[in-house]
Each structure stands twice: as structure tokens, then as C-alpha cells.
Amino acid sequence: MRGPLAGRVPVGAYGALGRGPRPGHRSGPRALAALIRLRAPDALDPATAAAERLRAAAGPAAAGGTAVAGGIAHPRRGLAELADSWYEALSAARAASAEPRLGPVADWSAIGPYRLLTTLPRSPGAPPDPAVRALLTPPNTELARTAEVFLDRAGQASRAAAELGIHRQTLYYRLARVQQLTGLDLNDGEARLLLHMALKAARLWAGPPDEYTAGGS
């Protein structure tokens, strides 16, 4: 697996790339990509460096505060699966843009549920899932974060409370409010899954509809 042709990996940058929408295209995040040759499939330093260069070339964050994020696909031999690799790099960059703890450059293999969520179609202007609609209103932002952290920590109250910096009783009170607002029973596995994915999807789709452009090397 070693040698100059051990693998190639696309890297991408996603966010406020360019100076504005192209004529005839809606405004929204754009994407750039580069194809990087690796000497070994597990030696991703050249890909990480290339993603950082793409981010730097894209310039600072957008006026609205949207930072440019980078993504790295799974290494592959040859070009037969180039389309899949491009999709993975873009998905990883989108995940890093939505979830700062993954970025500023994210590896597709490490983005967890966003590997699934980025495959789902999004209709422009579509409202969030009813399960989270009430949680995403400004008065309930703290409850939404509480629910997401609790679910990220596999429902372990002590870990969630420690991360949030609150007492466990405060956590239980907030979770009870979450159940009242959503109508979901957090003791039910499927209800937890629905709430968790709906919160992640809302984070992923919080920006405007996407516009993609690509370049290769």
C-alpha cells in the first residue's frame, strides 16, 4: 500500500467562498475541492494541509459570521470513485461548518451521524422537524442545547450535567421541559433517536440553501 500511488484523497472547503453569487445563481455557501496524492492511505497530513490552504484562499468568515470549513474524504486508489470521494469531502466540510468541535477541518470518517444526515435531501425553506420546532425558538435555545448534550453523552446524566456546568436536578428539570415541548418520551430509544437526529439536522441546515462549485488538481 506504500509508494507514490498509494492513494488519492479529495479535500474540500465549504462556506462563504468567493465574492458573491454568480449571475443566475442563488446566494449561498459554495464549495471548492482539490485532489491530493498520498504516499500511504493513513498519512493524511498532506490532505489536512491542502484543506487548510483552501480555507485560507477562501478568505475570512462571511459578514454574517459563517466561517469556511474544510473536509477530507476517505483515501481511495484511482479515480473510479472520484464522485463518492468528492461527496465525502463536501459532507465532512458541511459537518465541520455545522459542528465547530469537528472543525475547522473534519475527516469524513470522524463526523458520526452527519455521514447519514448529509445524504438527506433538503427542500429550500422547509421547516425543522416538528420534534424540535418549539426547541429551536429563541426562548428555548438553552433547552435545545441541554437535550443535545444529554443525547451526545448517551443519556448519562452526570456527564451531561458536568459538560453543561449545572446540577443534575437542574438537568432533570430541563429534560422534563424538553419532553413537555416535544411530546417525546426520553425513556424511549426511538424517541431519543428522533430528537437527536432532528437537532443535528437543524444544526446542519441552519444556513441558506447550498451552492456548490468544484475544482480539481
List of the chain residues with pLDDT < 50: 1-7, 16-27, 62-65, 208-217
**pLDDT at res. 10:** 55
Query: Please, where are the H alpha helices in 30-153?
Result: 45-58, 82-98, 114-117, 130-133, 141-152
Instruction: Retrieve residue 163's grid coordinates.
Output: 459538560
111 touches 69 (CB < 8 A): no
Comparing CA positions, the residue from 44, 32, 64 lying closest to residue 106 is 44
141-180 pLDDT per residue, tens: 999 999 999 999 999 999 999 999 999 999 999 999 999 9
Contacts of 104 (CB under 8 A, 6+ apart): 52, 55, 67, 68, 69, 70, 96
Q: pTM score, two decimals?
A: 0.71
What gap in Å lies between CA 190 and CA 158, rounded to an integer?
A: 22
Instruction: Retrieve residue 23's grid coordinates.
Output: 449571475
DSSP, residue by residue, 97-120: HH-GGG-SEEEGGG-TTHHHHTTS
**pLDDT at res. 20:** 35
**pLDDT at res. 87:** 86
**pLDDT at res. 43:** 78
201-214 pLDDT per residue, tens: 888 887 544 433 33
Instruction: Retrieve residue 183's grid coordinates.
Output: 411530546
**pLDDT at res. 207:** 54
What gap in Å lies between CA 164 and CA 45, rounded to an integer?
A: 34
Comparing CA positions, the residue from 134, 138, 73, 106 lying closest to residue 204 is 106
**pLDDT at res. 140:** 96
Contacts of 95 (CB under 8 A, 6+ apart): 71, 102, 106, 111, 114, 118, 204
